[in-house]
Structure 1
Amino acid sequence: MGRAGKSAAGRGVLRDLPPTFTYSQAMAAGVSRWQLYRLRDQGSIEVVGRGLYRRHNAEAADIDLIEIARRAPLATLCLATALARHGLTDEIPSRIDVAVPRGQHRPITTAPVAWHLFDPVTFEIGRTNLPLDFETSIGLYNAERSIIDAIRLRHREGPDLAYAALRRWLRQRGASPSKLLAMVRHFPKAERPLREALEILL
């Protein structure tokens, strides 16, 4: 089979691969290394990260978040990144704030990531899933958990982020201070400053 035929065959095999796939998955599907590089050069696929590719005809998605989710299955958007997702800050972080349980591997990514190590005991509290495409999702802390984290880490993230987010959250329909206070009991270091802030703002 000539090179053109091999390239066409590679494109055909890609239809059987998920939108985002690894080098190993491509090899297992019968796509040779030469075909893979050829498809990349032709624009049929794009490199998401080292050994990670995405079909050009796949639905639009946030490639950075897909890479993070594939590299670290427990990755969860937190702090300023999560607050921005919930419309609670206008801050645009230069790096994506991602939490993983303390003791978990923090992979090297092409995407700009600020890794945060959170206590495994409370890691799942307030954690939801954000779909990225039909096969991939990434963790996302809900608004209440994101506010609590910003308050308990205000010495690192700055107090303005936490209290501005709390003020904006209180103006949202459905905001429940009692729900926030119930959740903060799991984070003793944040409980007192949160209660004091609520007394001022309410």
Structure 2
Amino acid sequence: MSQRQIVHAVLTARGISRLAELRAAGVTAATVSRMEHDGEVLRLARGLYQLSDAPLDANHSLAEAAKRVPKGVVCLVSALAFHGLTDQLPSQVWLAVGQKDWSPKPDSTPIRIVRFTERLLNEGVETHVVEGVPVKVFGIVKTIADCFRYRNKIGLSVAIEGLQEALRQRKATAGEIVRQAERGGVSTVIRPYIEALTANG
């Protein structure tokens, strides 16, 4: 197999690859650079590549962010959008990382880092595959509780919209949300909104 064929095989299987992963498969940086020059591969960010004719998923930026920040978990507005609970299209990918985790340098996909405690970072995480890349995303009830916890960062209206949509689309029950909010210490904040939204049945 030629180096170019290896690149095609790796990127077809993984969707997006780091240069280090391509090197590990036996491809030189010069080959990748030539392929980029010839329009066969796209450089998404520093050391991050995909085939130029790869089909783009609506959640492409999440796959890119997951490759750049492997420990990160998609959270807040980006997680609401992923779960179909907001009309907002975030201009940046909201990623949760640990208190001492490294945060990436600015690059093509803007990433907004939010620091979580280890307990909150490891709770309610789901893994979804986007363009062949495993992407960690907080589940719906966890995301709603987090949106109320970080309401000063994202805006209270966004948190309320997420809560309203989750209940309206029956993607979560009021009880599940309250239990998650209690674990995250925001039940007193969220309860009045739940009561108001469920009062009319």
Identify whether the pair has TM-score above 0.5, normalized to the shorter chain: yes
Does structure 1 retain, via aligned residues, the 8 Å contact 2:17–2:67?
Answer: no
Indicate the residue corresponding to 2:117 in structure 1. 119
1:140 is matched with which residue: 123, 133, 137? 137
Unaligned runs of 5+ in 1: 1-7
How far is 1:143 from its partner?
1.4
Query: CA separation of 1:59/1:164 partners in 2, compared to 1, >3 Å: closer, same or farther?
Result: closer
Structure 1 segments of 4+ aligned residues over 6 angstroms from their partners? none
What SS does structure 2 have at the residue aligned with 1:115? strand
Contact 2:128/2:137 (<8 A) preserved: yes
CA contact (8 A) 2:140 2:172 kept: no
> 2:27 aligned to 24, 31, 35, which one?
31
TM, length-normalised to structure 1: 0.84
1:172-202 superposed Cα distances (whole Å, 9 cap, x missing partner)? 23531111111112111x1101111112221
Using CA pairs below 8 Å that are at least 6 residues apart, which structure has the higher relative contact order? 2
Percent of paired sites with the same residue? 26
Contact 1:122 1:186 (8 Å CA) reproduced: no
1:45 to 41, 44, 50: 41
Q: Which is greater in Rg? A: 1
Map 1:27-176 → 2, pairs under 5 A:
27-61=23-57, 62-108=59-105, 109-134=107-132, 136-176=133-173
Ranges in structure 2 where 5+ consecutive residues have no aligned partner: none
Query: Which deviates more from structure 2 when the two are superposed, residues 13-22 or residues 173-182?
Result: 13-22
What CA deviation, in whole Å up to 9, does each residue of 1:17-54 have, x standing for no partner? 34433333434444344332221111111112112222
RMSD: 2.2
